[in-house]
Amino acid sequence: MTPHQVKLVQDSFAKVAPIAPQAATLFYDRLFEIAPQVKPMFKGDLDEQKRKLMSILAVVVNGLDKLDTVLPAASMLAKKHVSYGVEAAHYQPVGGALLWTLERGLGEGWTGEVADAWTEAYTTLSGFMISEAYPQTKAAE
């Protein structure tokens, strides 16, 4: 990611952060709509999961300019998600739900440039997490 893309992601996330509870609800509603097969993986308190999502997003977004500090935690998170039944294929609908949520949360602030920056950020991070959690997937490519 370029420094400009990092700034776009960070600035746009700062605009969504004040509506974090609503954004998290939008995200999970959309995720369960486009990937209903993942809903049974969420056995605990969904409100707590929503808080965790927004908290983790904040850490990652704020660490984009120093990825080396974020990647170890992302690796652990990816490996932990395997035990919940998460598969590499699930990252695609999660990304779709995230981008959809951001588009709604940002309204007119969701420009093509912002969308491209978020897509790059998600693609970079999810690709890393998939390679960490499913190393055989990377070897098969």
* Domain range summary for the chain, segments of one domain joined by +: 3-140
For residues 16-39, average pLDDT: 96
| Cβ proximity of 26 and 104 under 8 Å | yes
pLDDT tens column, 38-89: 999 998 889 999 999 999 999 999 999 998 999 999 999 999 999 999 999 9
Say what the pLDDT of residue 135 is: 84
Confidence of residue 141 (pLDDT cuts 50, 70, 90): very low
pLDDT tens column, 79-137: 999 999 999 999 999 999 999 999 999 999 999 999 999 999 999 999 999 999 998 75
102 closest CA partner among 120, 114, 113 = 114
Give dist(CA 112, CA 136) in Å, integer.
34
Indicate the CATH number of 3-140 among 3.90.226.10, 1.10.3210.10, 1.10.490.10, 3.90.470.10.
Answer: 1.10.490.10
Give dist(CA 95, CA 81) in Å, integer.
15
